[in-house]
């Protein structure tokens, strides 16, 4: 069972772990920015933006993630866009997760009383200011729970990147089983590593919830 | 009556002419003509559903109109966008349900518009916010969140928030209807003080005491029309129209 502590397995493990954390972190950031922009589009008074938001979410939320990885990894080079495997994985994961973030935020926006936006507009705030200063901060708070589920799922979803040439945590499994280690033992350690990442994300959100609850 | 009107410099500040508004087939505002002069306090009164809120909200274009025109300080209301945002900063609004920003402290509520809309420096905005809170008797609560305040306290903060923009006119939509009786007075006192200082105000309210002591004119709305326009004293003691008589007998008897 002590696989990680044999030979240079530890550094292999560590490298995979770091790659998974980096990939998840970068994708989470992209998803958050993209999801917020998409949510803004979906509630905006401009019909073209609303249609764009709806279309984006429709496509990316309903396409299997593996298919998105395929599209980015093999589709982009065809139109002469050459990106590293890591960036491809980040794009696929970020765009996919962003559509979920958008829908969660939109549900949150609907919980904010209409009077909040009316008060902001009455003060002379523009649509963008009303959204970013008044509506979204309250919407975000209201949906921290569902949002944490989306971001806890992200590191697990990132395992697909292992099949697309990113040397992340899950791909360590392949290397080790080629070396002849018992498959169950390998999976035990890898699962434990994913658990650590997810638990950390969960804790971060719980901390955030506690800190923001003061202002409610 | 004529004395008070001639004393007043008659600068028209808010002018509605031939305003019509429908929600679907429901004709909510019908040919409304109304001029509010600088420094004037106009009270809108009328049965539920008569269009008081809608009329109030058309003035800062929270409700759009179907026909007619509205001008504020001489310029017609622009279409949605930056121009309209700029104009809204000049027209303060106080809501029945307060609508303080729930995630901001009392002080932040009064600072936000100044900093983000007026681009006032933060320190200056805070000083002004504190003095406005002092004025409405809420200085001691500057660091609390809206949920920690009573309705009357929230409404006074909402008035301070509106005043922070130095509006040309203040709109009040039933500012005391959601309050317990003992809190109504504290809000009305603030509003009376504003009226006495010459603030231009359009107030939807059924508070007769306020109308009598602070209003220059009372407009009685029914079914989307201005049915009667009168001085407060005349309106409450000697209404001309049947609709107003009927309405007053109902609110006086409960
Ligand atoms: N957004 C809306 N959509 C459809 N109908 C509306 C809308 N807002 C108001 N109405 C209708 O317009 C009419 C006038 O409403 P308004 O709120 O202006 O009345 P009010 O005089 O303020 O009444 P209250 O004293 O109950 O506040 C009512 O019949 C109302 O049902
Ligand atoms: Mg109303």
Q: Which atom of ligand 1 is nearest to the CA of B63?
A: 1
**Does B54 map to a domain?**
yes
> What's the confidence (pLDDT) of residue B3?
44
Model confidence band, residue B5 (pLDDT cutoffs 50, 70, 90): very low
CATH 1.10.3720.10 fits A8-211, yes or no: yes
pLDDT at A4 over 90: no
Mean pLDDT over B80-93 rounds to 91
pLDDT at A186 over 90: no
Q: Which residue range(s) make up the domain with B69?
A: 12-100+168-250
Number of domains in chain B: 1
pLDDT at B34 over 50: yes
pLDDT at B189 over 90: yes
pLDDT at A88 over 90: yes
User: Tokens at residue A81, please?
Assistant: 């866009």
Model confidence band, residue B7 (pLDDT cutoffs 50, 70, 90): low
**Does B144 map to a domain?**
no
Among A124, A137, A215, the residue with its CB nearest the CB of B117 is A124
pLDDT at A94 over 70: yes
User: Using an 8 Å Cβ cutoff, are A101 and A150 in contact?
Assistant: yes
Mean pLDDT over B190-198 rounds to 95
- Residues B115-143 have pLDDT tens digits of 999 999 999 999 999 999 999 999 999 99
Which residues on B lie below 8 Å from A118 (Cβ)?
Answer: 62, 93, 95, 99
**Does B196 map to a domain?**
yes
Mean pLDDT over A9-23 rounds to 90
Percent of residues, chain A, with pLDDT higher than 70? 98
Instruction: Determine the distance separating the centroid of ligand 1 and the alpha carbon of A214, expressed in angstroms.
Output: 36
Model confidence band, residue A3 (pLDDT cutoffs 50, 70, 90): confident
Model confidence band, residue B234 (pLDDT cutoffs 50, 70, 90): very high
Model confidence band, residue A42 (pLDDT cutoffs 50, 70, 90): very high
Reduce the secondary structure of chain B to three states and give it as a string: CHHHHHHCCCCEEEEEEEEEEEECCEEEEEEEEEEEECCCEEEEECCCCCCHHHHHHHCCCCCCCCEEEEEECCEECCCCCHHHHHHHCCEEEECCCCCCCCCCCHHHHHHHHHHHCCCCCHHHHHHHHHHHHHHCCCHHHCCCCHHHCCHHHHHHHHHHHHHCCCCCEEEEECCCCCCCHHHHHHHHHHHHHHHHCCCEEEEECCCHHHHHHHCCEEEEEECCEEEEEECHHHHHHCCCCHHHHHHHHHHHCC
Which residues on A lie below 8 Å from B72 (Cβ)?
Answer: none
pLDDT at A181 over 90: no
Report chain A's mean pLDDT, rounded to a whole number: 91
pLDDT at B1 over 60: no
> What's the confidence (pLDDT) of residue B254?
57
Give CA torsion, residues B224, B95, A122, B210, to 10 deg. Answer: 80
Strand partners, B27: B22
Kindly report the CATH number assigned to the domain that includes residue B210.
3.40.50.300
Report chain B's mean pLDDT, rounded to a whole number: 92
pLDDT at A128 over 60: yes
**Does B182 map to a domain?**
yes
- Residues B35-82 have pLDDT tens digits of 999 999 999 999 999 999 999 999 999 999 999 999 999 989 988 888
Q: What ipTM was estimated for this complex?
A: 0.91
Nearest chain B CA: its distance from A130 CA (Å): 10
- Residues A140-169 have pLDDT tens digits of 999 999 999 999 999 999 999 888 888 888
Mean pLDDT over B85-112 rounds to 96
pLDDT at B229 over 60: yes
* Among protein residues, the one whose CA lies closest to atom 6 of ligand 1: B23
Instruction: List pocket residues of ligand 1, CB cut-off 6 Å.
Output: B 23, 26, 28, 46, 48-54
């Amino acid at each position: 069972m002590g696989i990680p502590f044999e030979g240079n397995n530890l550094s292999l493990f560590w490298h995979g772990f770091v790659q998974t954390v980096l990939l998840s972190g970068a994708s989470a950031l992209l998803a958050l920015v993209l999801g917020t922009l998409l949510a803004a589009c979906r509630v905006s008074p401009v019909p073209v933006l609303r249609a764009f938001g709806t279309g984006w979410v429709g496509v990316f939320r309903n396409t299997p993630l593996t298919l998105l990885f395929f599209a980015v990894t093999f589709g982009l080079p065809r139109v002469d866009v050459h990106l590293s495997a890591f960036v491809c994985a980040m794009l696929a994961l970020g765009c996919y997760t962003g559509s979920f973030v958008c829908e969660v935020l939109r549900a949150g926006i609907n919980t904010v009383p209409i009077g909040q936006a009316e008060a902001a507009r009455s003060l002379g705030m523009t649509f963008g200011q009303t959204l970013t200063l008044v509506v979204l901060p309250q919407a975000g708070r209201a949906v921290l729970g569902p949002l944490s589920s989306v971001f806890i799922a992200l590191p697990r979803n990132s395992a697909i990147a292992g099949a697309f040439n990113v040397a992340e945590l899950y791909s360590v499994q392949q290397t080790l089983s080629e070396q002849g280690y018992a498959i169950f033992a390998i999976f035990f350690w890898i699962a434990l590593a994913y658990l650590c990442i997810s638990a950390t994300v969960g804790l971060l959100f719980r901390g955030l919830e506690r800190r923001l609850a003061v202002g409610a | 009556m004529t004395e008070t009107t001639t004393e007043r410099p008659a600068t028209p500040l808010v002018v509605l002419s031939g305003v019509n508004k429908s929600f679907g087939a429901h004709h909510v505002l019908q040919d409304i003509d109304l001029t509010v002069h600088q420094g004037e306090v106009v009270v809108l009164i009328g049965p539920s559903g008569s269009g008081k809120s809608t009329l109030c909200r058309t003035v800062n274009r929270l409700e759009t109109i179907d026909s007619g025109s509205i001008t504020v300080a001489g310029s017609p209301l622009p279409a949605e966008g930056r121009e309209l945002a700029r104009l809204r900063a000049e027209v303060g609004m106080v809501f029945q349900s307060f609508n303080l920003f729930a995630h901001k402290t009392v002080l932040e509520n009064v600072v936000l518009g100044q900093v983000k809309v007026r681009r006032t420096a933060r320190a200056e905005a805070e000083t002004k916010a504190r003095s406005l809170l002092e004025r409405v008797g809420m200085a001691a609560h500057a660091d609390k969140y809206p949920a920690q305040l009573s309705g009357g306290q929230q409404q006074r903060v909402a008035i301070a928030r509106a005043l922070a923009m130095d509006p040309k006119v203040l709109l009040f939509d039933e500012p005391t209807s959601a309050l317990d009786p003992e809190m109504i007075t504290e809000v009305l006192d603030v509003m009376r003080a504003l009226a006495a200082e010459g603030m231009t105000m359009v107030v939807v309210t059924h508070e007769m005491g306020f109308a009598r002591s602070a209003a220059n004119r009372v407009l009685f709305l029914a079914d989307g029309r201005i049915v009667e326009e009168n001085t407060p004293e005349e309106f409450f003691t000697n209404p001309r129209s049947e609709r107003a008589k009927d309405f007053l007998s109902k609110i006086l008897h409960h």
